[in-house]
Structure 1
Amino acid sequence: MKRVLVTGADGFIGSHLTELLIREGFCVRAFTYYNSFNSWGWLDTLPRDILKEIDVFTGDIRDPNGVREAMKGIDEVFHLAALIAIPFSYHSPDSYVDTNIKGTLNVLQAARELDTSRILVTSTSEVYGTAQYVPIDENHPYQGQSPYSATKIGADRLAESFYRSFDMPISIVRPFNTYGPRQSARAVIPTIITQLLSGEKEIKLGALSPTRDFNYVKDTAKGFVEIAKSSKTIGQEINIATEREISIDELAKELIRQINPNAKIICDNERIRPNKSEVNRLLGSNRKIKELTNWNPEYTFEEGIKETIEWFKVKENIAGYKSNIYNV
């Protein structure tokens, strides 16, 4: 039984990945962000039979000592811990450098010291910036269009350097726009759904023309597992994408149709990114992940959206969301 560590396990994708790993028979240690409330984030909502199987380690990814301690006795590391909100990175870039770059360095240094057998570092499609060609494959140029994306580019290149310099078994996993149950309100799909479910007739959004390649979270989590299973993925950067492009306008209209057909879209200037920072087009290639692993998306966009809406309709799930404010 492989012992694996998931950093950022208390978050959106991390909690789904942790749950999947337990269901697939892995022995999982979950690295969660220390807080005085003793909250384990979304892990607290997992079924009790799953939660009791998880070894929870509370710490801070910015602390090399805690990271090293968490990684002792671990065979594989799924490194997901990061600050991810783009608007917040505009006014707090220092915290993104400390968390995303230095946090990744802490994982890499500890893995080198402990001779960890496999490390998966989580990237993002935002490192590509606006598509210069589509579908975007792993050879596409990088462009730091926000402090967030710049720090993720830095973390990716650090990971590459450790693979090349020290022959470490590293893979860089690059999901495109993941959505689904447990996603925070700083993302567009929960923003729209929570406003609609609260009865709002005017749905506030930023730019409507950008397009995205939306992955359902269970497919994203499965992508991580399949990449870890394949030795062919060592030293590789690998997209997780659907190769389907949907504009924010099309997305909003579909959610309005399903939840509240009487609602209309209002452009809120506060939610619009600076012009040169907006990523106008993302459409990813999944050719590489299909060639190197057994991954195939199991959910269509329509199926994933249906499950997501149903999750948000449960009052206990939506209780902590504040649909009346702009969540950066």
Structure 2
Amino acid sequence: MPFFQAAPLARTLVTGANGFTGRYLVEKLRAGGHTVIETTDVHDEPETSTRLYLDITSHDACRRVIDRVRPDYIVHLAAISFVGHDEPLDFYRVNVMGTRNLLEACVQVGHTPSKLLIASSANVYGNVASDAIDETFPLRPVNHYAASKAAMEKMVHAWFDRLPILIVRPFNYTGRGQSSNFLVPKIVEHFTGREPSIQLGNIDVARDFSDVRYVASVYEALLDSDAAAETVNVCSGTPYTVRDIVSSASELTGHELEIHANAEFVRQTDVKMLAGSPAKLHSLVPSVESIPFVDTLRWMLVS
């Protein structure tokens, strides 16, 4: 009987693995057969063969990790992602220069992965009068977070001829474990705590919300796709206002929450409508189905 040797498992490096998205993606990739090497910026435990410390702002640290791991795939999630972060320069140090350090490290140590997936953000589109933003829309960022992601994208384009890069622009997404600094977890927290009222900003801003489990599935599928040297939206195509979310949560829980407008929560740079076109995404990974937002909300409310 001939001897067949099983193909080695794909070694996949995930930066920012200890973040909200990273935790779900790592679980998804491991379930799919990947050997995942996580990087974190937290010195909470000793390094292991599958968990490494990485300060993405350090060029030398990036070279050390890439040279040590030499992964088949890289998913770059490490970023300052909270729009209200109080130190503007951090957005550029981490989101722009940190990404550059990672790409430069690959080239300098002579390692080319099969795919390098880099997470940007749909915030790069800014205020757009459309409920179906596709990848051809111009970038018009209106805050430091979005500006840093737009600058990162422009920088990354210069590496398209050297590395197989795919940029993803996720629209808003949420799920269990997301910080209550973010809108939907804050609303969920008030409903699960049976609070009498909540302070919110503009409840008529609309966002295209997805489920973090769907986003993780999309990222996994995109790693296996042929797409490279391009950008793709990750979205559901369906916008929801803050008012819609509160109303849905009320219906699911039977609890009424009185809304108090707080001017401090209204940013002049807030994008009024942000909803994407998933057409390109569906053409690249047609088998990945989105999760209805009401199901996401129900899942979060029973956590």
Closer/same/farther in 2, CA of residues 98 and 65 from structure 1, 3 Å limit: same
Q: Which amino acid aligns with 1:115?
A: H
Tell me the alpha carbon deviations over residues 120-176 of structure 1, each in whole angstroms, 9 at most, x when there is no partner.
Answer: 11011101112233300000111111100000111111111111xx43200001111
Q: How does 1:102-113 map to 2 (within 5 A)?
A: 102-113=97-108
Q: Which amino acid aligns with 2:280?
A: K
- 2:5 alignment counterpart: none
- 1:135 alignment counterpart: 132
Question: Following TM superposition, by how much is the alpha carbon of 1:295 offset from its aligned partner in structure 2, in angstroms?
Answer: 4.2
Q: 40, 62, 69: which one pairs with 2:64?
A: 69
TM-score (norm. length: structure 1): 0.84
Q: Which amino acid aligns with 1:287?
A: A
The answer as to whether partners of 1:196 and 1:203 remain within 8 angstroms in 2 is no
Question: Following TM superposition, by how much is the alpha carbon of 1:298 offset from its aligned partner in structure 2, in angstroms?
Answer: 4.0
Q: Which moved more, 1:148-157 or 1:196-205?
A: 196-205
Q: Which runs of 5+ in 2 are unaligned?
A: 1-8
Question: Following TM superposition, by how much is the alpha carbon of 1:226 offset from its aligned partner in structure 2, in angstroms?
Answer: 1.2
TM-score (norm. length: structure 2): 0.91
Q: Which runs of 5+ in 1 are unaligned?
A: 41-51, 312-328
Cα distance between partner residues in 1 of 2:32 and 2:172: 24
1:246 is paired with a residue whose SS is strand
Q: Which amino acid aligns with 2:111?
A: D
- 1:82 alignment counterpart: 79
The answer as to whether partners of 2:192 and 2:301 remain within 8 angstroms in 1 is no
2:141 is paired with a residue whose SS is coil
Question: Following TM superposition, by how much is the alpha carbon of 1:260 offset from its aligned partner in structure 2, in angstroms?
Answer: 5.3
1:207 is paired with a residue whose SS is coil
Q: 278, 281, 291: which one pairs with 1:289?
A: 281
- Is 1:262 aligned to residue 256 of structure 2? yes
State the number of aligned residues: 291
Question: Following TM superposition, by how much is the alpha carbon of 1:215 offset from its aligned partner in structure 2, in angstroms?
Answer: 0.7
The answer as to whether partners of 1:131 and 1:283 remain within 8 angstroms in 2 is no
Question: Following TM superposition, by how much is the alpha carbon of 1:186 offset from its aligned partner in structure 2, in angstroms?
Answer: 1.4
Which one has the largest radius of gyration?
2
Q: 176, 194, 197: which one pairs with 1:199?
A: 194
Q: Which amino acid aligns with 2:237?
A: E
Q: Which amino acid aligns with 1:303?
A: D
- 1:308 alignment counterpart: 300
- Is 1:31 aligned to residue 12 of structure 2? no
- 2:170 alignment counterpart: 175
2:99 is paired with a residue whose SS is helix
Question: Following TM superposition, by how much is the alpha carbon of 1:244 offset from its aligned partner in structure 2, in angstroms?
Answer: 0.8
Cα distance between partner residues in 2 of 1:246 and 1:57: 38
Closer/same/farther in 2, CA of residues 39 and 187 from structure 1, 3 Å limit: farther
Tell me the alpha carbon deviations over residues 4-27 of structure 1, each in whole angstroms, 9 at most, x when there is no partner.
Answer: 100010011111001100000001
- 1:20 alignment counterpart: 28
- 1:152 alignment counterpart: 149
- 1:299 alignment counterpart: 291
Cα distance between partner residues in 1 of 2:222 and 2:120: 13
The answer as to whether partners of 1:206 and 1:270 remain within 8 angstroms in 2 is yes
1:86 is paired with a residue whose SS is coil
The answer as to whether partners of 1:242 and 1:297 remain within 8 angstroms in 2 is no
Closer/same/farther in 2, CA of residues 12 and 61 from structure 1, 3 Å limit: same
Q: Which has the higher helix share?
A: 1
